[in-house]
């Protein structure tokens, strides 16, 4: 029994060290080079899907895409430090009241999930998210966070990143995307396996129209990544 206890302690210690050190080391490396693959990509490969991906820098994407994604996913991205506390409070209040919780995950948190964690929402994942999110916010610029997110986000079965998504859905590069196309891509991000940017449902088309309008109203809220 003592051996089992000692072994469990060692495993717990190594797990704790990995939790602390891996995000720091990865953030330092990926500040300079593109992440080669993510846990989600590996999972989808084991499920038999392909891997369409072509890394491009943020400046090689249409600025409209950055604005549309911020408008859709996290309109306070440039002003917070990884967490939208007001949205988190509202989500907790809804949960406590037995209501359907709204999304409170920031782009920084989603980037963390894509790089270090698993895709399926769970209490354990939520507990593990904050620390690596803070690491990314401390080590990377906002431009780098958004650049990585737009290059690893899933946009359909086997489709990852803005460049692959633009070519798969619209037959053009990410730099050539127009206002409506970027809004459609942003609209499907919450569930890219159920919705399609190139064959939008009425819901996706309506949401894209709302996103396009919001993106045009953000103004200085996108200056940290795409100055006016």
For the chain, the domains span 2-222
- Tell me the average pLDDT across 13-33: 94
Fold of the 2-222 domain: Penicillin binding protein transpeptidase fold (1.10.3810)
User: What whole-number percentage of the chain has pLDDT above 90?
Assistant: 78
**pTM score:** 0.90
Write the pLDDT tens digit of every residue in 131-181: 999 999 999 999 999 999 999 999 999 999 999 999 999 999 999 999 999
- 3-state helix/strand/coil string of the chain: CHHHHHHHHHHHHHHHHHHHHHHHHHHHHHCCCCCCCCHHHHHHHHCCCCCEECCCCHHHCCHHHHHHHHHHHCCCCCCCCCCCHHHHHHHHHHHHCCCCCCCCCCHHHHHHHHHHCCCCCCHHHHHHCHHHHHHHHHHCCHHHHHHHHHHHCECCCCEECHHHHHHHHHCCCHHHCCHHHHHHHHHHCCCCCCCCCCCCCHHHHHHHHHHHHHHCCCHHHHCCCCCC
Q: What is the mean pLDDT of residues 31-46?
A: 94
């Amino acid at each position: 029994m003592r051996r089992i206890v000692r072994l469990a302690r060692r495993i717990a210690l190594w797990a704790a060290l990995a939790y602390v050190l891996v995000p720091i080391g990865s953030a330092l490396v990926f500040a300079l080079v593109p992440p080669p693959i993510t846990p989600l990509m590996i999972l989808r490969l084991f499920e038999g899907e392909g891997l369409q991906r072509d890394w491009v820098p943020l400046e090689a994407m249409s600025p409209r895409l950055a604005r549309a994604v911020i408008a859709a996913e996290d309109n306070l991205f440039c002003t917070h430090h990884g967490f939208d506390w007001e949205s988190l409070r509202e989500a907790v209040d809804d949960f406590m009241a037995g209501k359907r919780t709204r999304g409170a995950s920031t782009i920084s948190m989603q980037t963390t999930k894509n790089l270090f964690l698993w895709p399926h929402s769970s209490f354990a994942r939520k507990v593990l998210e904050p620390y690596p999110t803070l690491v990314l916010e401390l080590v990377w610029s906002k431009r780098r966070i958004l650049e990585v997110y737009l290059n690893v986000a899933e946009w359909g079965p086997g489709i990852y990143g803005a460049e692959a998504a633009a070519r798969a859905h619209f037959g053009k590069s990410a730099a050539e995307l127009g206002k409506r196309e970027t809004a459609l891509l942003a609209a499907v991000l919450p569930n890219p396996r159920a919705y399609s940017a190139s064959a939008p449902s009425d819901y996706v088309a309506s949401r894209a129209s709302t996103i396009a309008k919001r993106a045009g109203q953000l103004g200085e809220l996108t200056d940290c990544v795409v100055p006016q």
